[in-house]
Amino acid sequence: MMETNAKLYGDLSRILVTREEIAEAVAKLGKQITEDYQGKKLMMVGILKGAIVFFADLLREIDLPVMTEFMAVSSYGASTKTSGVVNLVKDITKDITGMDVLVVEDIVDSGMTLSYLKKYLSTRGAASIKIVTLLDKPERRRVDLTADYYCFTIPDEFVVGYGLDYDEKYRNLPDIGVLDPSVYSGE
Ligand code: IMP
Ligand code: MG
């Protein structure tokens, strides 16, 4: 597992979820979504940038006609803690009236990002809005927000890899690991 990205893996205190575990969970989730969205107008909305890897894998496990859109929000900057203020940086480009929207996120932490996005999208006439997240950190929730689908519940530790970053780095690690606190202790 450590044969590639050796420099980046050195900053992890441990691997939390391996690429094999991720692939298995994503395939299972794709099958579930394929069943649940039969006959619906599925539009997957990926939240940039953390969800890109998960989004690309999940998309290919869905055996239905599906449209794709992306949104970007900012709340973190170069920090492991949310600023609590969510800014919309990039909006969707298509009309979502009548669509069954599935928002695809990398991780639900405080819940502020998704609660903001859900509220924002609900004013746009979608037939339904559901949330799918790869990771859920329930201990950190600051607002009442539950994902409709998730792959893994994780403890309150800062993780990177498989799309998740710290200061824009580590997104390219194929596994998910706990970032060693010494990397961000100067924060
Ligand atoms: P929330 O608004 O606090 O739920 O934060 C959600 C966003 O924070 C996610 O989309 C991630 O980009 C980022 N985030 C939260 N926890 C982590 C983590 O452990 N590693 C990397 N990014 C994280
Ligand atoms: Mg991020």
| Alpha-carbon distances of 86 from 75, 116, 143, 178, rounded to whole Å | 5, 7, 13, 24
What value does the mean pLDDT take over residues 110-121? Answer: 94
Q: Which amino acid is at 121?
A: L
Residue 186 lies in a domain: no
Residue 99 main-chain phi, psi, to 5 deg:
-85, 150
**Element (DSSP H or E) covering residue 129:** strand 128-136
- Give the active site residue among 57, 106, 109, 175: 109
Q: Whose CA is nearest to atom 13 of ligand 1?
A: 107
Mean per-residue pLDDT for 167-176? 96
Q: Can you tell me the distance from the alpha carbon of 187 to that of 184, in angstroms, rounded to the nearest whole number? A: 6
Ligand 1, from 76, 137, 150, 176: best to mutate by most atoms within 8 Å of Cβ?
Answer: 76
Domain that holds residue 150: 3-74+84-179
Mutate to test the pocket of ligand 1, among 48, 79, 107 (most ligand atoms within 8 A of CB): 107
| Averaged pLDDT for residues 85-101 | 94
pLDDT at 174 exceeding the cut of 80: yes
109 is catalytic: yes
Q: How many domains does the chain have?
A: 1
Among candidates 113, 129, 109, 133, which has minimal Cα distance to 51?
Answer: 133
Ligand nearest to the CA of 143: 1
24, pLDDT greater than 80 = yes
Q: What is the pLDDT of residue 78?
A: 63
Distance of alpha carbon 96 from alpha carbon 26, whole angstroms: 25
Query: Is residue 26 a part of any domain in this protein?
Result: yes
Neighbouring-strand partners of residue 88: 73
User: Model-level pTM greater than 0.85?
Assistant: yes
CATH number for the domain harbouring residue 111: 3.40.50.2020
Round to whole Å and give the CA distance between 144 and 126: 21
CA 51 to centroid of chain Cα atoms: 4
Q: Is 58 helix (H, G, I), strand (E, B) or coil?
A: helix
Ligand 1 cavity residues, CB under 6 Å: 50, 75-76, 82, 105-113, 158-160, 164
Q: 142 by DSSP, 3-state: which?
A: coil
Residue 3 has pLDDT above 70, yes or no: no
Over 80: is that where the pLDDT of 45 sits? yes
The answer to the question of residue 44 being in a domain is yes
User: Per-residue pLDDT for 135 more than 90?
Assistant: yes
Query: What is the average pLDDT score of the chain?
Result: 94
Residue nearest to atom 20 of ligand 1 (CA): 159
Q: Atom of ligand 1 at shortest distance to CA of 154?
A: 19
Query: Is 55 a member of any domain?
Result: yes
Ion ligand 2: residues, Cβ under 5 Å: 50
Inside any domain, residue 187 = no
Give which of 180, 182, 133, 134 is closest to 157, Cα–Cα.
180
Per-residue confidence (pLDDT) for residue 2, from 0 to 100 = 54
Residue 85: its H or E element: none
Please indicate, yes or no, if residue 91 is contained in any of the structural domains: yes
Which residues have a Cβ under 8 Å from the Cβ of 146 and sit 6 or more positions away?
none
Do 171 and 164 form a contact (C-beta atoms < 8 A)?
Answer: yes
75 pLDDT more than 90: no
What is the per-residue pLDDT for 92? 96
Q: Is the pLDDT of residue 37 over 70?
A: yes
